[in-house]
Structure 1
């Protein structure tokens, strides 16, 4: 029995060395340049990288992975696993607009993970070489372009001594400027979650045979858990084929995703809710006429709130291209549980609860709450009252807690956060649970996610912490009072969650409101890549705070929605 993905890769390379593991659409187009990576070649390149790491005594240490979109990341990642080195996926600096944000995050991750080596593509490694003078974090760190490691290095590879409890990689979940948190995902966690994904998504031997091993198409970023644990690693787990292309190419032309689905006819493909909305915006009659989506069985939708209106419109629009309502597949997961926690049925459409039945559970823009399906085998989901440490009755909203072998080991070098998040207990149940910080309820064994207990905002599939946006806003103009800014998200309908900033300003700046608003918008756009939905400047001392002086973001959001904020230039309500 396989004890790690390394074992499974070895088996596939022996049994089907010539089968394509991954194909990469270099331009994002099916008729453009395509790169293929067979299982034999994948195993050889992974072992070459692993041997290079082993020869330098790096087993047990951390390796930062900084790759542009492409297949080389997969060789580097599996090379780390094959060497017993802890992989740390990161986002490489690229392009002017993303450079500052990516460099800031990269520096924090290198420092927090105490990385000893950086693996990357040639251009990334060359760029880092030019940054050494300005990045003290790179001092003493070996940087290597894994393309330059020779194939024959694989001959000296030694199988690592891995256990289920050995840490495979660190999945960082933090915002762009807040203290990073690296989730320690073990080899045992990876195998268990692959088992969950396989079962929940119906990736049976019969299905694999029916689809001639063509299981995935994915544009999702491979440094993110949804893109990595799902399409990339489930491919290795099962010995199937995945077609990949760059997230940027999808965002530039969303039709490329649909065209790839038509060409390769995979069983499974998906993304966050916003991806389906993008496809709807580009659904021209000519595009629909040329598509056949009838083979798409699992259209997974997760990582941000799943909207009933989006599901309905996608089915109505792409039904003309053969898309089946039963293929809609809302799911729920998080990095702290490796990835998947619950998933829908592969043979029936997702369950919806009409707003009239759910009352406060449903969003104002949707007619129904959407089920995220049932827990995977061996996974326990309970809805808890965290204050009382008790389960709440079925149908009642509480915090989602998760138990099972997919729950990660904890946060890297953060014992306090690990204890608070991964060691929750219930008075009437044995065992420890993961506190997700998400709110939801169970009905008929299915999970309905309704919101977040924590302040994390998920916008266009990316995580943002409100304190990051608040800091960027406060630093943009002298009149913005430190510690007196609230950032939160509101329901933007089909656009998904949208950020709003409410900030107190000094009275002396009463005539500069427009300038201040423009500066806040520009600062957040540059630092976080976000377009702010609304900026509201309010009078000093009016933002809701706790008795200890902490910003009450939920109360600020309620006041914003109710129109009761003390807006600068607007007469106060009597």
Structure 2
């Protein structure tokens, strides 16, 4: 489906006439265009749209029904469901606006019939977003008109663009990177936007690269998973003659950024014209509308090598070296951690220790806190249906990081830190080590403590998509047991078993629960505690 922006706005305004004013509009669609039309249709009426994963994306009708039920339990006032044809949900008393999949199912207002204004603007809530739920159940966040305008303006300013962008995306619209970072960024600045279905990318990742080449895409964004999926699944014969020389910016974020992923993606497509300086690392979350920090554009991503042993908040991080993507590969025991650059204009990033005291100095670890115009209005209070502001306007992210030469480096979620004998061990850095020992992609490895309340509980490594004849020889067993935090048991699965959020982040708390109740189905479990 192809539609100029002018036609798109008039079509969405026509759809908006079917939506009550000032309502919460819960949207679910398998195709991007109906979801976007409903989203903008709700904005025309002064409503608050919320895009949820469709039953297919949510994992089935039961999961989708649960999402809708939880949403209805939080929002207040009038609620409308906008559902693509073929999607149904049990919600007595809640009106449904059908969304045809085909453009012929919509009408268009004449230019003179457009509403004079859309909504209230300013500090009123423009739309709702769901958190990624990597450390708990998802929450709904209120994003104001001022939030999104500030973020889209400062992103464009950091990118240093003066027009002429062409965006190509497969990202789901229920994720902040897909909605704000691609769809709204393109609409806000009037940049052409080429949208694929997420499932098409997952099943045939070469189609993203083919579209980038065919449409001369200049700006893309994806979590680490997306770039890793391409570099592992796309063969040269899949995209013969592809040309990525037009690609100016490929933003990477939403997950820990892995050296092997960026290096492999760059090396794979450098012959097709991809520059190392096109890859730009960023940091943000739904609570910051989207982006809070972005690295320098047109410069190869910079990284430092971090000693993963014994990192403590308020204490210096031991740096073992540094480098840039495209240069000599890192050597030695350190883990590469990429710079996410300085905060965007108007944003302030500070660090605190476990007692909330400021952390100062270069390369000193602390929890990242953020303030500025991008910070959302707050999580929705189920008692009032209104956003509850963050205390003093300060967002405690729960992420651990440090500053180095004025740039922000992000290490780990606080809740993913494993504490043993008074020392902190970061799960993501342990996963790098375990993946290296086993020769498996780090995205398919999870390391966690079986019980966060028991300091003596097992350290478990889960490996998915593991070959049936995977060889766990004595050298690998010994290496796993001689890590700074030894692995006690290894769970090997031939299929996908690591629980993830709808945006692909690993859900450690869910994995811990499934280990406890036996529903994390591994094909082989290997006890390593006796190995030496």
TM-score (norm: length of structure 1): 0.68
What CA deviation, in whole Å up to 9, does each residue of 1:339-382 have, x standing for no partner?
A: 00111222211111134795379999874221011211111111
Distance 1:331 1:314 in 2: 17
Give 1:36 shift: 0.5
Which position in structure 2 is the counterpart of 1:171? 129
Which position in structure 1 is the counterpart of 2:219? 268
Report SS of the residue matched to 1:168.
strand
Q: 1:421 to 1:249 in 2, by over 3 A?
A: same
Give 1:78 shift: 0.8
Say yes or no: does 1:123 pair with 2:86: yes
Correspondences of 1:354-433 after superposition (within 5 Å): 354-355=305-306, 359=318, 367-413=335-381, 422-423=390-391, 432-433=393-394
Say yes or no: does 1:188 pair with 2:146: yes
1:350 aligned to 283, 301, 305, which one? Answer: 301
Report SS of the residue matched to 2:318.
helix
Give 1:307 shift: 1.1
Correspondences of 1:81-480 after superposition (within 5 Å): 81-94=43-56, 97-114=59-76, 116-124=79-87, 127-128=88-89, 132=90, 138-147=91-100, 150-151=107-108, 155=113, 157=115, 159-173=117-131, 175=133, 179-205=137-163, 208=164, 214-287=165-238, 289-355=240-306, 359=318, 367-413=335-381, 422-423=390-391, 432-455=393-416
Contact 1:91 1:106 in 2 (8 A): no
What CA deviation, in whole Å up to 9, does each residue of 1:151-181 have, x standing for no partner?
A: 4599484634513111011101154996541
What CA deviation, in whole Å up to 9, does each residue of 1:325-347 have, x standing for no partner?
A: 11111111011010001112222
Report SS of the residue matched to 1:294.
coil
Give 1:419 shift: 10
Give 1:525 shift: 7.0
Give 1:394 shift: 2.2
Report SS of the residue matched to 1:291.
coil
Distance 1:297 1:523 in 2: 34
Correspondences of 1:19-58 after superposition (within 5 Å): 35-53=1-19, 58=20
Which position in structure 1 is the counterpart of 2:470? none
Distance 2:497 2:206 in 1: 29
* Structure 2 runs not aligned, ≥5 long: 308-315, 322-329, 419-426, 436-440, 452-489, 517-525
Q: 1:454 to 1:61 in 2, by over 3 A?
A: farther
Report SS of the residue matched to 2:65.
helix
Q: 1:528 to 1:419 in 2, by over 3 A?
A: closer
Give 1:45 shift: 1.4
Which position in structure 2 is the counterpart of 1:20? none
Give 1:105 shift: 2.0
Please give the root-mean-square deviation of Cα atoms over the aligned residues, in Å: 4.1
Distance 1:196 1:434 in 2: 19
Correspondences of 1:450-529 after superposition (within 5 Å): 450-455=411-416, 491=431, 493=435, 494-496=441-443, 498-499=445-446
Give 1:404 shift: 0.8
Distance 1:168 1:536 in 2: 36
- Normalized per residue, the structure richer in helix is 1
TM-score (norm: length of structure 2): 0.73
Q: 1:176 to 1:434 in 2, by over 3 A?
A: closer
Give 1:499 shift: 3.6
Contact 1:491 1:497 in 2 (8 A): no
Contact 1:400 1:438 in 2 (8 A): yes
Give 1:414 shift: 5.9
Q: 1:108 to 1:96 in 2, by over 3 A?
A: closer
What CA deviation, in whole Å up to 9, does each residue of 1:477-505 have, x standing for no partner?
A: xxxxxxxxxxx77525433263457658x
Contact 1:501 1:532 in 2 (8 A): no
Aligned length: 442
